[in-house]
Amino acid sequence: MELTINISKRKKSIFEFPIIGGTLEAIVSTIMIIVVVLAVIIVVPYDFIKHNILGYKRKTYVPPKPATLIETDNYKLTLEYIDEPNKEHQLASDFLYSIVDYGDENAVFKVINSGVKTELNDTYLTSFKYELGEFLILQKIRENENGEPTSDLIKFNPADGKIETLKEIGKFELTKFDEKNDEIVGFNLTEDITIKLNKASA
pLDDT in tens, the chain (202 residues): 667 777 776 665 655 556 655 677 778 788 888 887 776 666 556 555 555 655 555 555 455 566 899 999 999 999 998 876 667 888 988 888 888 775 556 778 999 999 999 999 999 999 999 999 999 999 999 999 999 999 999 999 999 999 999 999 999 999 999 988 889 999 888 889 999 877 655 5
Indicate the DSSP class of residue 191.
E
What H or E segment, with its residue span, contains residue 95? helix 90-99
- Residue 32 CB partners (closer than 8 Å, separation 6+): none
Q: Are 29 and 37 in contact (CB under 8 A)?
A: no
Domain residue spans in the chain? 3-11+63-201, 14-53
Distances (CA, A) of 45 to 38, 40, 41, 42, 153: 12, 8, 7, 6, 51
Q: Are 135 and 159 in contact (CB under 8 A)?
A: no
Q: Are 129 and 142 in contact (CB under 8 A)?
A: no
Q: Are 124 and 140 in contact (CB under 8 A)?
A: yes
Q: Are 120 and 136 in contact (CB under 8 A)?
A: no
User: Does the model's pTM come out above 0.95?
Assistant: no
| Torsion angle in degrees (nearest 10) through CA of 30, 32, 33, 39 | 150
Indicate the DSSP class of residue 87.
G
Q: What string of H, E and C letters represents the secondary structure of 56-72? A: CCCCCCCCCCCEEEEEC
> What residue type is assigned to position 94 of the chain?
D
